[in-house]
Structure 1
């Protein structure tokens, strides 16, 4: 090797400023970038970091209102009415890493942004960033461009105390981004439920809750609870739960105001506390599985030094919180059941039903597993990938593995030939899956197709055992394909609802049209894109260029060479999301239930004919 190419001296050592480092390695600070089409995209993390600071003011008793505005260009304004950043430290607080009052527990006892990075990341990843602090009749304003200070001013003001943050996300980091109001609304409702009494105004709407997590639980259940929820709130712990007739358990957990969608030690302690409280009251020894099945719960804890397993704070790692959460939850649950004997009896009846179902399933499970071993040691419908991250150490962003669920061998053949065998697996259905709405859990074990799919995903014992980061429904865009997609969604929502809630289930978007001339080919995902592509390839001159348009009827018509473009770096996925748990039962009942006349009437009323 040429020595000149391996010279290692002082000139090769680089020191980046804190904001330059954020711009160079944004994934370390906000996770994924994205364009705003996914609720976990970076622009929502930027908004969250700013709003978190305003909420912290409310938590500390300063300021009960937050105003949020976002214009059509994505320019964000967040104004709180707290104490305002101390005027002499405004610039440092938004531009120097490890600077902030949140290291001082006298000022901020329970804060999420303990690393001093929040607004610095927003500043670094914005084309325009301005901070204005109003404090006791004086103000200080600092303006930045791409993280670099470009202007500052100070003087007197008649504005109320508080802080105004304004920013426009970087066009370089977030090309063609757009905020989705529905994603923002969902986040703001969480803030409202976690901070009873706080008023947040956004898009001419007020987000406000008086009963905290109890309001959140009622919203999610919408009358589906089997008994009046058990609810508790004190300075450091708030929780509520009830049982439903659904399969599995579902929780909304938070630490210092941040949604921990992967749970953590606080959630495991919460579950253990519920189990011990019920057993103490009943004098029985119910097992964890029987108690948990059907639970929907909300949990929020406040701790001074939270340790998260990632910068984006999805999972709590503090082990010292376990014992006090377990003991507190156990005492609250036990006392609540003694006070409300009617609810207690309904809860115990539900657990006994769960126990009976589990025992009924044991023999069915044994038989199903034995039959599966007779057929083959491997799942013959699955073409697996080689890379499977440990659940204890999940995939890094950009290195996720995935499984495509296809409808038949023709579509599977194209994907198998075009996939990356390291990270992309394929599970091919033999035909239309069973409509499992309203079916017992035993049906899952008696149906070979559904049982094989459950085994392939490894979610029989727990959703946390899932072998893939993304479960992708890859069906045709025709009527049959959409029907199969709905049947699969029904399967996941009915038996494995948390899989959808945690954002693992996606829909693969594939092109419907191929538009090309002799020089260029454009793949189109809608009629609108087809019209635009046709105009572009025909040219603007008097003599139009001949354009060939091909409509793909199914995935099997797309050659492996073409397919590689659609499942590679430019893959288009739509994450399946839930507005609320209460909507799931209603939607499944209407579209997948036995109410055929009502569905037919709905279709006839909403039928649109294109001429």
Structure 2
């Protein structure tokens, strides 16, 4: 056989596969039984196939290709669920595959005279092709599972970006947000969002704004401890949880934060964010410290440059006050108070 005067040498099925395989990971084939020979390579550009039925090239595939692709997808999805504890759709597996199928089918039916697509259902193939475990292990050795997980994580990241914020004027639809009047406008860099520990603290912050005004200060109550973003971003399930976490999504919209964007200067903050700073106003007890730490952890894990730019500040209030005669002692942690209690002055205070 020649093409443009050049001989085409195809010694076996594997040699034929190498004419199409595009992946640096390589490919392999196996004759499963007398009627089925299957080859696999990884695809860089979505699902692809080359297939034959009784020697006829089915350029559009068909039921025999679906039969093999579905087997592979089920196996990979189950393994990922067992190892990663998350359900991955079969399309993520198939989008990484290039399949080669050579099958002998009894009384094959096609979609037309050109025989481009096999329409015979698998129940009427006249034989079965159950992929053996060693075949699947070879497939995993090509890096299929890692590719599937990488694709899935990319899709999840894209999903989180759908909930991105952006710099804009007034926003609506976020419960309990009291937005600064100038947030998202020309003076947004001068605006501060106050994050409080619950509704009661928000009421106190709102009362305080009656003095300084509402133009440059917004208030939003946190509903307790946030999820640990640093832990979640290392797993598929964690990315899913972050993408649907209402509080994180709301904060991105309020602040104008965009997933994947880097804020490396004050100019970036002024240009892209709705607020120039965040002030955390939580109790100085253990719960308050956790809330503050988890918020800073989220920012650091996604937009670490903002911490270096001192985007986050905190209003520190004493957790304990002790009055002794004309003196007043303020303590900002239980440890600090307990240490003071052991001093002579502390013991005198009872």
- Name the TM tier (shorter chain): 0.3 to 0.5
Structure number with larger C-alpha Rg = 2
Which has the higher relative contact order, 1 or 2, with Cα contacts under 8 A spaced 6 or more apart? 2
